[in-house]
Amino acid sequence: MEFHLHRPDEKIRPALQEKIDNLTKPKGSLGRLEDLALQIGWIQQTLTPSLHKPHNILFAADHGIVEEGVSTSPKEITWQQVLHFLKGGAGVNFLCHQHHFQLDIVDAGVDYDFDHHLALWDQKVAKGTHNYRYESAMSDEQMESCLQRGAEVVSHVHNQGCNVVSFGEMGIGNTSSSSIWMHYFAQIPLQQCVGAGSGLDHAGIQHKYQVLQEAIDHYSGDKTPYDIIRYFGGFEMVMAIGGMLRAAELGMIILIDGFIMTNCILAASQLYPEVLCYAIYGHSGDEVGHQLVLKHLKAQPLLQLNLRLGEGTGAICAYPILESAVHMIHEMDSFQKAEVTKYFDV
């Protein structure tokens, strides 16, 4: 599947910067709000940026690598949590309610038969990936299907008027896939990429590392980004990549959540580097691996709240800061309009 991404036109930057600098404040005194207003205006190619109908799209799927004991959580947690999301009692639910996000739950490949009457996007590719310790997680056809289906969901919410989107995930074992992608794409030693996930102790982390190292040693593909994504990825993660690439193609703002979604934008950038222009990083999570991959991306996360839940929660928490940046550029007067003497030179 081909996407047609481009870097936003730089010509608008000077006018945006001038507008921000001439608001009634010392230059730079509103810090990151000024940077965000500039980025959002640059993405939207306007001096009057706006945020409309935010959505959090949560992709869920199962992973074959779970068979190797790389997680303390049993695989059935994936489908149980999906039902929990649909009932409205999970962490992501209260944050979506608080910050007025539409929550879209997508079955990308959960090993469970959901009732067709549920308010669930049925985009199931298969009932979980294969175990990449021994074979490719998914086929070329499945990878293409994931990219396409993830893009279709984003197209749908965009057609509803959404211009800012965050992505969440649910998939027991997906920190393992993230660790391998991070190792390959950020050139970070695997041992530094492997963490506790949902609660492994030291022995569990060492076992997880050994399993993932064996999977890498067994891998005999061509080591292109596409093949690494396909071989070690999860259905929910590749759908998120498709969603991110379509969002960038449509000029939408992409709010990045935690460890898994940061590695998804890293992987997406291996296919289309321009996608990074559209990314705003919600938070730095309570995982060394997340902090390292953010550093590799030269990202400046907005929050540090020691979050590690996933689901899109950290991205949604950061959304009010984007709103403040947009309100700033809309509602603050210029020195000229306020008839206030510009009281600084730099």
Asked if residues 297 and 266 have their Cβ atoms less than 8 Å apart, the reply is: yes
- Which run of H or of E encompasses 109? strand 102-109
C-alpha dist (Å) from residue 166 to 1, 56, 104, 317? 22, 5, 10, 11
Residue 244's nearest CA partner among 260, 256, 231, 232 is 256
Asked if residues 136 and 229 have their Cβ atoms less than 8 Å apart, the reply is: no
The DSSP line for 75-104 is TTHHHHHHHHHHHT-SHHHHHHHHHTPEEE
One-letter identity of residue 346: V
Lookup: tokens for 92: 């992501």
Asked if residues 57 and 167 have their Cβ atoms less than 8 Å apart, the reply is: yes
CA dist., res. 192 & res. 205, Å (int)? 11
36, 39, 40, 43: CA torsion to nearest 10: -170
Any alpha helices (H) in 187-287, and if so which ranges?
Answer: 190-193, 202-218, 225-232, 235-249, 259-271
311 is catalytic: yes
Q: Kindly name the residue from 68, 169, 287, 311 that is annotated as catalytic.
A: 311
For 180, list phi and psi in degrees, rounded to 5.
-70, -45
List, in order, residues 6 or more apart from 55 with CB less than 8 Å away.
Answer: 101, 102, 103, 104, 157, 162, 165, 166
Known catalytic residues?
311
